[in-house]
Structure formats: structure tokens, C-alpha cells
Amino acid sequence: MSERNQEYDFKWCPGCGDFGVKRALEMAINTFTEEFEIPRTSNVIVAGIGCSGNMVHLIDGEQPFGIHGIHGRSLPIAFGISSSRPDLNTIVVAGDGDFLSIGGEHIAPSAARNPNITCIVMDNGVYGLTKGQSSPTSETGQITTSTPFGKLESKINPLELYLSCGVSFIASHYSSKPKQLSDFILDAMKHKGMSIVHVQSPCTTYNDTYDILKGDRKKGIPGTAYIVDENHDPTDYDKAKALVAKDGVPLGLIYKKEPSTINELQNKLIMDNPSKNVEDILSSYSI
Amino acid sequence: MTQKIISNDFVIRFAGEGGQGLVTSADAAARAASRSGYYCQTFSTFPSQIMGGPASSQVRISTTPVLSSGDFVDVLVVLNQYAFDNHIQDLNPENGVCIYNAQDCEPSGEGNYFGIDADKLAKESGNTRAANMVILGAVAKLIDFKLESIESFIKDRFTRGRPGDEEIIKSNIIALSFGADVAEKSGFNVGSLAPPKPPEHDQIMITGNAALSLGATSAGLDSYYGYPISPATTVLVWMEQNLVQKGKFVFQVSSEIEAINNVVGAGFSGKKAMTATAGPGLSLMSEGIGLAWMAEIPCVVVDVQRGGPATGLPTKSEQSDLFACMFPAHGDVRLPILAPGTVEECFMIGGLALNWAERYQGPVVVMSEFGLAERSENIKKPNLSNVIDERRNSKTGDNGFKRYQSLGKNGELSAMPIPGNQAAYVANGSEHDEIGDTTHLPKHHIRLTERRFGKLSLLNDAHFEIENTNSEIAIMPWGSSKGVAREAYDKLISDNLNIGWIYSICLNPLPKEVLKELRLKKIVIVPELNYQGQWSSIMRMDGINAVSVTQYTGLPFKPSELAEKIKEKIKQTMEV
């Protein structure tokens, strides 16, 4: 059920982090659309499969375009859109299982092309839709329905992964501060190239990490989330590398560089080479 | 020496190792002959490696359009002993002649063969790289092909505005004459090629894959994404070279999974998008094709078939992907299939597939095949002004547009809005309602399942052929077996067998007229290159009494053998 559609039969659990991400995304789309004076329908949301993917049906107000595809393939679908229609604002919404596990093979090649795509990864450290299996970002030893004796593998570090793949804009945040999160999403949209905003978005049903992230003085939990030092230089690769190697969840811009996008390179290639028309190509086959 | 036989048709084959310029030799012979007004078709078989391994390339030269690679080889050129041992049985027993490379090959005993030291003669001509020309000269002499025609071909080919041009042309012509001299002295002759009957229209010489690419481009292809895989790689390479224009996008991505999802994205965004692959890649694309079917997104997937399963036979001929192409994904799907049977049809289908995808708002599969994709043929030059660039009905509406409404009364499909325009919706791979929101309600699943199948009826303008309807038996080839089946059919008709001919470039949905005719037949015989008889199986599913004549050697049918097999099949089936 959604506000605009009573028959839509999906909803997030109460307290789900994705509500905060939704508000942040809506704000970012509003601002981006106003600032660049584009039609709201020039925003396209590409959703994967998982709780996070339902975002595309839940946006309030005038609708952007959306595509709710298949599990793990939001990046290649988005690449098809953004490379063919560079005028659109292409946004990927995906979860940790969707983006890092089944879809993990697309991160490195996408980063190497630097397409103009903004990815919002909602990390809850668990497969929620299938009722609580372990994900790449579940803790080692964590008990889940698929790891009843504790998860055996190590937990991956997504920020380190993005950085080593060469993603040109990397931010990290959590869902509890939608206004601040929306600022990073907006910056990511403005960034020319592949940007990822990695968001800790807790699952209140299967992996409630609110306390761990934010801390709870009464319970004596220190909290793993911390605001990135204002002196951090996001253009310095080594500093970014040191930052993501530290324990805890940084909130802020981790890394940013500005190489050409694949469409800019392709345009240059087209300018530098004689344009081909079909008549000429056909004539080249004359006997 | 006996009187030379005058023939309308010769097959010349070059066999040796990959990398020895075999394809170039066959291609040069084809070009020289087609410029003289003959019809030509090449065929190659080579291992899946860059250099070495047994390979061969042949050209069939004829005074009439060439339908297949033929029954026998009239002139066989072998460059090593292995090639001699493995190809000599294909030599025409009546008057075929084999030329062997005297340096690397020494056939025992006597037969219709003679040796030639091409490298030595090339050196003597003053051009060590002209060994091919020595061979070509010998071949030309054996079939009484005018050397002057090849000389003019050489002049055109090597006139490149460089200082050494004249020298190269001269030495190549000398090499040609050296080869002709050796053939003359050998005392053999294969026959005399009848004078050409050149067509009045302009011609081009092109491969199946290039024709398909050109057809797609001329019908407005906007975006191409692909991954290298034999025998579809040449489509990717063609696109990278030719789809260079403002507003177009072509890219080699990192897997077939990426490629199919790229074309889904591009199709959704309003562009005409295509990818080409072969069996293994098609398997990887399965889920993405299902998404395009479910979310109703126009795109074209070309499957250039090779032998399967798994890695199978990457550079051989087989038609064994039909089940996988028509039913590529889980769930209720049946994809539209266009299967070209000739190089001309490759051009036609390249465009038609894209237009169909736009018209019915969904994925279209094109089934080519190794032998068809890689062969060169001289065909009528297509008239580009006849090519239609059909675009989806994209009229805009209000936001919250009912993009997935059922087919209207007149079979009209609700418009597909394009991002950036009004009428936003969600293209959804989950079952959905009219605006694309996810739903599990039976009423929506029923309505949309029927819509997805119902709109296939919009695809009703495919080329088909029906002949000799008074027979209760018909032969119905599909795809790349069309030409050879036609040659077999013509033989059977000239043997006074009463048999009908049915052919359609579209296997799903079958044109109404074709389906009606098929259902009237007592037996429909399907020549196809697979073990299971895939096309006849599907036709039986649709209530047609079809049986297959199969072959699964990795090679195409031979016309005479096929004609015999068809006769045998008719006999067997009638007895039952």
C-alpha cells in the first residue's frame, strides 16, 4: 500500500531505515530538479530487488520515471540509460545484498567507465525480504537464518572496495539524519561520474543496529558512527584509504576525483573521428 | 585431353592451417569472380584459436545465385598433409582436381592431383608474399577462368597511391601466370566455367553479420552493447567501427549479463538498442530477456548460433538454440523469433527486429548461425530509402499514466512514455498494475499475462514463402538451412516428387497464412542442424504434424545428401 496506490502490496516495517533514505532522496531530487530546471520526469530511479528496491514505488509527489529490474543488475541497467540518455539524472537504489553480493561483479567495470550515475546503497547487513539471511556486510560470527551457527566469512568493507575499484565519488552516511544525507545525495547527483552514497539503513526486524551505530549512553554503547573530520581531504587517495581502513562508520565525503565520464570520452571520440553515415558504409561493400 | 565440360557451378576449397591466409584466398577468388559477373558464396571452418589448427575456406562460383556450399569440391587446394587426408574425400569424383603444396605435402599413389611449390614461384616472381596469387593462377587455369579478370582485380586492390604499387601489381600478375603455367603443364582440367550472366542491379559483397549490422543501423539503431564471443564478435567490431555518430552509443561491456541489462536500460530510455551474442552468452542473458518481456521494454538480442552446449563448438554450424531462444527465461514466455536464411534476409531482419521491438514494446530475438554469419556473398545492393525506421508509440499523458493497460479493441497497445516527457511510470519486472506498481492480485496477473501474449499479434508483416500447395507433404526449413533445403527441394521437384515448400523468417508468431497451410499438411519435413529436431517439436506442440531430418556434425547439410534424406523420411513416415 502506498499513498497514491491502495493496491500496491508492499510496505516497509515500522522504523525501517529506508524511510529516512526515501525522505533524503525526495529532498535531493526536488532540489536537483529545481536547481537545474529539468522536468521532474528527467529523474530516473533504477531499483534492484530487495526491500530497498521498493523505493521506486514510494516516492511522494509528482513521479519520476522508474525501473524495478532484477536482482543485482541495477548498475548495468542504469549504464544503459545514462550512456544512451546522458541528459537524464540516473539514480540507482540498491541494498547491500543486491549491490555487493549478486551485483558485485558490476562495480569495478562501472567505475572504470565512470558513467554519470548516482548510487544509493542501503546497507542493513542482512537479506530482509527473504527473512533474515546473512549478507556481505553481516558481521563475522553473526547468527542469521542462513548462518544458524554464526557467519563464517569475513565482513566486507564496502567503502574500501569502492575506493580500490576507482569509484570517483564516495560518501558514507546513515539513515537517521535525512537532511544531512540528502545533501550528500545531492552532491553525488551533481558529481559528473559514478558516485556512491553508502547509507547504513538498519533493519528493525532482522538486524537492528540503531544502537550500535548511534550509541546509547544509558546502555553503555559508544556508537560506531562518527562525523568525518572537517580537515579530511577527500581528493587525497591515501588519506581516503586510511580513513576507510579505520573501525567505525564515517559520516561524510570520503573521496572525490573528477576524471572524464564515459559519455564525455565518447563525445570526444565522435568529434575526433569522421562521422559515418549509412550510405557511405553501404557503398564500402560495393563490388 | 578430353573435351572440357562446361559447367555453371564450381566449388573451390583452400585447406590448411589457420593463419595461412585461407580466408583471404577464398575471399579474393570470390571478389574476382563476382566482379566478373558471377554469383559467389564463401564458407569457412576454422578452430577457435588465433593461429594454427586445421582450417578451410571455400568459394562456390556460379552463373546463378548460390544457395548452399554445395555437394563436392571441384578444385581442392591443400597446404599440408593433414588437409589432404581430411578433405580429399570431398573432391568431386567425376572431374575434381587437387592441388597440393609440394613443400609440405606428398600424397602417396596416383590420383587427380599435382603439386606446386607456391613459395618458390612467388620468390621467382619477385614478391615472396604472392604465394596466394600463384595458387589462384593455377585454380583459374583449371576452371578456364579468364586470368585478365583476376589481373584487373589485382590492379584495383594494390593501387593504393603508394610508390611501390606498380612493382607489387607487376609481381602479383607474374605470380598468377606462373601458377597458371604449372596447372597447364599438369594436363588436368576440371571443366570450363560458363560465361557469367550478371544481374542488372547493383551488388554488394558482404557477410551475414555485416549485413545484419548494416540493416539494424539503417533502421535507426541508437545503442549497441556487446561482449566478444564467437561467432558474434564481428557484430561488436562492426558497431565499434561504424556506429560513430552524435547521439549514438556503442560499447564493449564486461559480460553478457551486463549487455542484456544495458539494452534493457537503453530501450527503456527511448532508444533502439541491440546486443549480439552466441549460445553461452544467450544463457547468461536469460534473466534479462525475461525482464524485458515482463516490463515490456523494446530491445533486440541477436543469437549467432554455434554448436553447444556449454562452450561446445564455438566456430561450427548448428541450429540448436531454438528452444533456448523461444523460451529463454523462467515463467510464461514465448519470444518473437526472426531467423534469417540468407545474407539478404540478415539485412532485412536487422531492421525488422528493431522495428518489431518498438511496435510491440518488448524483446525480439534474432537467430543467425555461424555458417550464415561468416560467409560472404554478393547480393543485390539494398535500397536504403525502402528501409523503415519505426518508433514506439510514445505519446505523452498525465503523470501516473496507465502504461500497462490492456490491448485496446482495435489491438492498439497503450503508449510507452519516454523518460524526460510527462507520463512517468515504473517499468516493473515484478507483476504489476496499470501504472507499474507491484501487485500479486490474480486479476492483474491474468490481465497482464494475456496482454504480453496478445500483443504478439501486432508482429504480422514477416516475409514468408508458400509453394506448391496441392501436395500433402511440405518441406519447411528454418534459418540458415534455407538455401541448402531449397537446392534439395529443387532437385526433388525435378525428380517429379510432389512436395510443397513453406518458409517463414518468423518462427514466432508464425504468420497466419503459414500456420494455416502447415496444419493442412499430412507431413511437414524440417531439415535442421540439431539432435532433438527442435523446430518440428515446437510445431507439433502447435498441432502440426512435423518431423525433422537432423544432422549434428557441426557442418551444414549437403544438398544431394539432404534430398536423399528427405525422400527417405517421406518413405518412412508414409509407411507408419
DSSP structure string for A25-84: HHHHHHHHHHHTT--GGGEEEEE-SSGGGGHHHH--SSPPEEEE--TT-HHHHHHHHHHH
Contact A262 B251 (CB under 8 A): yes
pLDDT band at B574; cut points 50, 70, 90: confident
- Facing B269 at nearest CB: one of A39, A85, A262: A85
C-alpha span between B333 and B53 (Å, rounded) = 41
A42 touches chain B (CB under 8 A): yes
A276 touches chain B (CB under 8 A): yes
Looking at beta carbons, which residues of chain B come within 8 Å of A278?
214, 217-218, 384
Which helix (H) or strand (E) covers residue B44, if one does?
Answer: strand B39-45
For cell 497464412, name the residue.
B513
B383 touches chain A (CB under 8 A): no
pLDDT band at A21; cut points 50, 70, 90: very high
Contact B223 A83 (CB under 8 A): yes
**Residue B142 has what pLDDT?**
96
Looking at beta carbons, which residues of chain B come within 8 Å of A62?
399, 424
Distances (CA, A) of A205 to A51, A133, A138, B221, B303: 12, 12, 14, 48, 45
Contact A78 B267 (CB under 8 A): no
A45: nearest CA partner in chain B: B426
**Residue B493 has what pLDDT?**
97
Q: pLDDT tens-digit profile of B363-410?
A: 999 999 999 999 999 999 999 999 999 999 987 667 667 899 888 777
B576 pLDDT higher than 70:
no
Residues 139-168 of A with CB under 8 A from B: none
Q: pLDDT tens-digit profile of B468-513?
A: 999 999 999 999 999 999 999 999 999 999 999 999 999 999 999 9
Q: Which residues of B263-279 are buried (b: 16+ CB within 10 A; e: fewer)?
A: bbbbbbbbbbbbbbbbb
B509, B511, B516, B520: CA torsion to nearest 10: -80
Provide the mean pLDDT of chain A: 95
- Spatial CA neighbour of B517 closest among B530, B533, B504: B504
Could you tell me the domains of chain B?
6-193 (3.40.920.10), 205-386 (3.40.50.970), 393-461 (no CATH), 464-575 (3.40.50.920)
Which of A1, A42, A74, A83 to mutate against chain B (most B CBs within 10 Å)?
A: A83
A68 touches chain B (CB under 8 A): yes
Which helix (H) or strand (E) covers residue B259, if one does?
Answer: helix B256-268
pLDDT band at A4; cut points 50, 70, 90: confident
What's the count of helices (H) and strands (E) in chain B, helices before strands?
Answer: 18, 23
A5 touches chain B (CB under 8 A): yes
Across chain B, which distance is largest between two alpha carbons, in Å?
Answer: 85
Residue type, A231: N
- Spatial CA neighbour of A13 closest among A213, A202, A214, A212: A202
Looking at beta carbons, which residues of chain B come within 8 Å of A5?
433, 435, 437
> Domains of chain A: which residue ranges?
17-260
B448 versus A5: which is more confidently predicted? B448
Looking at beta carbons, which residues of chain A come within 8 Å of B242?
276, 281
pLDDT band at A66; cut points 50, 70, 90: very high
Q: Of B112-126, B202-216, B251-265, where does mean pLDDT reach its minimum?
A: B112-126
Helix axes B208-218, B233-242, angle to 10 degrees: 40
Rounded to an integer, the average pLDDT of B216-238 is 98
- Facing A79 at nearest CB: one of B203, B265, B417: B265
A148 versus B574: which is more confidently predicted? A148
B235 versus B49: which is more confidently predicted? B235
C-alpha span between A41 and A43 (Å, rounded) = 5
Terminal alpha carbon distance of chain B: 52
Terminal alpha carbon distance of chain A: 64
Distances (CA, A) of B267 to A81, B156, B300, B417: 8, 43, 9, 11
B407 touches chain A (CB under 8 A): no
B1 pLDDT higher than 50:
no
Count of all residues that appear for chain B in the document: 576
A37 touches chain B (CB under 8 A): no
Query: DSSP label at B195?
Result: P
Looking at beta carbons, which residues of chain A come within 8 Å of B295?
67-69
C-alpha span between B208 and B190 (Å, rounded) = 30
Q: State the pTM of this model.
A: 0.96
Looking at beta carbons, which residues of chain B come within 8 Å of A77?
261-262, 264-265, 268
Question: Distance (Å) from the C-alpha of residue A217 to the closest C-alpha of chain B?
Answer: 42
Looking at beta carbons, which residues of chain A come within 8 Å of B429?
49, 68-70
Which of A6, A68, A87 to mutate against chain B (most B CBs within 10 Å)?
A: A68
Contact A77 B265 (CB under 8 A): yes
Residues 9-68 of B with CB under 8 A from A: 31, 34-35
Looking at beta carbons, which residues of chain B come within 8 Å of A270?
244-246, 248
**Residue B110 has what pLDDT?**
81
Which of B35, B237, B261 to mutate against chain A (most A CBs within 10 Å)?
A: B261
| Beta strand segments in chain A, E | 43-47, 65-68, 89-95, 117-123, 126-127, 133-134, 169-174, 195-200, 225-227, 249-256
A64 touches chain B (CB under 8 A): yes
Contact A77 B261 (CB under 8 A): yes
C-alpha span between A188 and B287 (Å, rounded) = 30
B2 pLDDT higher than 80:
no
Helix axes B165-186, B131-142, angle to 10 degrees: 40
Fold of A17-260: Rossmann fold (3.40.50)
Cα B252 to the chain's mean position, in Å? 22
Contact B419 A81 (CB under 8 A): yes
The β-bridge partners of A173 are: A199
pLDDT band at B560; cut points 50, 70, 90: very high
Question: Distance (Å) from the C-alpha of residue B201 to the closest C-alpha of chain A?
Answer: 12
Query: DSSP label at B456?
Result: G
Q: pLDDT tens-digit profile of A234-281?
A: 999 999 999 999 999 999 999 999 999 999 999 999 999 988 899 999
Provide the mean pLDDT of chain B: 94
Contact A278 B254 (CB under 8 A): no
Question: What does DSSP say about strands B299-305 and B363-369: parallel, antiparallel, or unpaired?
Answer: parallel
B427 touches chain A (CB under 8 A): yes
Q: pLDDT tens-digit profile of B11-47?
A: 999 999 877 777 788 888 999 999 999 999 999 887 7
**Residue B531 has what pLDDT?**
98
ipTM: 0.97
